Amino acid sequence: MTAPRPTPPHLTSLVASLPATVPFVGPETQERARGRRFAARLGANESVFGPSPRAIEAMAAAARDVWMYGDPENHDLRAALAAHHGTTPAHVMVGEGIDGLLGYLVRMLIAPGDAVVTSDGAYPTFNFHVAGFGGALYKVPYHGNHEDPGALLARAAETGARLLYIANPDNPMGSHHPATTLERMVERLPEGCLMVLDEAYVELAPEGTAPRIAPEDPRVIRMRTFSKGYGMAGARVGYAIGAAPLIAAFDRVRNHFGMGRIAQAGALAALQDQGWLAAVQAQVAAARDGLAAIARQNGLVPLPSATNFVTMDCGAEGRLARAVLAGLIARDIFVRMPFVAPHDRCIRVSCGTPADLAAFEAALPDALAEAQAALR
């Protein structure tokens, strides 16, 4: 008698309906496909300037105790973040980067069919979570190179959205709105709609970018990270600031041991070294100026940036930018580009060290000339 053939587990109808998606193809994946490493890693908006030496020391010390799980309450880090922001730990939740927190938030608040509003071309990982939990995603176009607060609010009112997502400063364009614009958005939010304010890059933005929003305001949840200004992208540490009842609800769904002991120790030490953050801010500003100069030397238009990258307008439709991107990658320079028209006319280059910028400066003219010739 033949044994029955084993059958694979059945996916839910929702998951079975979704494509297998990786929102960002990592540089490591590209390096494996190419068979060699990149000379300059300028595509992931990481901080090549690294974390505070104090954070490195704290993580090294914590490694000795890595046989223990991390504190599931993230007590010390939450307390320090609360003090840093002038609030209480009840208004702060720590998680596995902003991406992890966005996933928990969507799981908590979005049932299949619930409306969610974002900008077309904005950070795709948020969309990935909405699709994964069956939400109905509604998108509005940018206004020029900026997310459009008025259009987002109008679409939220029209659809009865449960969530409205906006990043300030914005990825992939690097643009930002002043604090007053975000404050006005909060006052105009439709009833029952929560604004998800992604502030991943806010430590690198001009003064006056972060709005004054009371942590207990139930209309907004703010997302922050240690991946950008603090230089700890590989540690995956993010946090949310919001009303205490909403923050408490994370405990119903989150991975309570999702934050490792080493990451907790590093983030706590990084937060306590604001002098290092100030030094990184200065290096980022200098690198932005350097990248803008390189763009202009090659006939590209650098867009104003409030982040740790510069988006460069190649001056044509998306085929040219894609060809320039391919030419840079072929020359061992890892960069990325916006993926939705009309912003796909641009490439996006992260801030780097002087050596990184020199490598980019050397590769760009030939990549650009090759791309232009191929499209004639």
Q: What is the mean pLDDT of residues 303-307?
A: 98
Q: Are residues 288 and 142 in the same domain?
A: no
Q: What is the mean pLDDT of residues 288-302?
A: 98
| Domain contains 13 | no
Q: Across-strand partners of 115?
A: 136
| Least confident segment among 135-139, 193-197, 303-307, 372-376 | 372-376
pLDDT, averaged across the chain: 96
Closest CA to 280 of 48, 41, 98: 48
Region of 372 please: left (phi>0), alpha (psi -120 to 50) or beta. Answer: alpha
**How far from the centroid of its chain's Cα atoms is residue 263's Cα?**
18
Q: What is the mean pLDDT of residues 48-69?
A: 98
Per the structure block, which two tokens stand in for 262?
């080493």
Is residue 2 over pLDDT 80? Answer: no
Is residue 146 over pLDDT 90? Answer: yes
Tens digit of each residue's pLDDT (9 = 90 or more) over 252-281: 999 999 999 999 999 999 999 999 999 999
| Domain contains 2 | no
Tens digit of each residue's pLDDT (9 = 90 or more) over 189-242: 999 999 999 999 999 999 999 999 999 999 999 999 999 999 999 999 999 999
Q: What is the mean pLDDT of residues 115-128?
A: 96
Report pLDDT for 363. 98
Residues 6+ apart with CB under 8 A from 298: 364, 365, 368
3-state secondary structure (DSSP) of residue 95: strand
Please give the C-alpha separations between residue 37 and each of 33, 202, 221, 335, in angstroms, as whole numbers.
10, 31, 39, 13
Query: Could you tell me the pLDDT band of residue 71, with boundaries at 50, 70 and 90?
Result: very high
The helix (run of H) or strand (run of E) holding residue 240 is strand 238-241
Is residue 305 over pLDDT 70? Answer: yes
Which domain, by its residues, includes 301? 24-49+275-374
Final residue before a domain boundary, out of 257, 272, 287: 272
What's this model's pTM, rounded to 2 decimal places?
Answer: 0.95
The answer to whether 305 and 174 have CB atoms below 8 angstroms apart is yes
Per the structure block, which two tokens stand in for 261?
């002991």
Cα separation, 239 vs 77, whole angstroms: 10
Asked if residue 342 has a cis previous peptide bond (ω within 30° of 0), the answer is: yes
Per the structure block, which two tokens stand in for 33?
């496909």
| Domain contains 17 | no
**How far from the centroid of its chain's Cα atoms is residue 293's Cα?**
25
Residues 6+ apart with CB under 8 A from 96: 236, 237, 238, 255, 258, 259
| Domain contains 11 | no
- At 120, phi and psi to the nearest 5? -70, 115
Please give the C-alpha separations between residue 231 and each of 27, 96, 170, 207, 375, in angstroms, as whole numbers.
17, 15, 18, 20, 38
CATH of the domain at 106: 3.40.640.10
Query: Could you tell me the pLDDT band of residue 10, with boundaries at 50, 70 and 90?
Result: confident
Q: Are residues 137 and 99 in the same domain?
A: yes
Q: What is the mean pLDDT of residues 164-171?
A: 98
**End-to-end Cα separation, the chain, in angstroms:** 68
The answer to whether 217 and 187 have CB atoms below 8 angstroms apart is no
Final residue before a domain boundary, out of 272, 303, 337: 272
| Domain contains 5 | no
Q: What is the mean pLDDT of residues 357-370?
A: 98
Is residue 1 over pLDDT 70? Answer: no
Report pLDDT for 288. 98
The answer to whether 233 and 209 have CB atoms below 8 angstroms apart is no
State how many domains the chain has: 2
Report pLDDT for 23. 78
Report pLDDT for 22. 79
Final residue before a domain boundary, out of 272, 291, 319: 272
| Domain contains 10 | no
Name the one residue in this structure whose structure tokens are 């400063």.
169
Q: Are residues 60 and 173 in the same domain?
A: yes
| Domain contains 164 | yes
Report pLDDT for 24. 82
CATH of the domain at 342: 3.90.1150.10
Percent pLDDT > 70 in the chain is 100
Report pLDDT for 8. 79
Q: Are residues 106 and 159 in the same domain?
A: yes
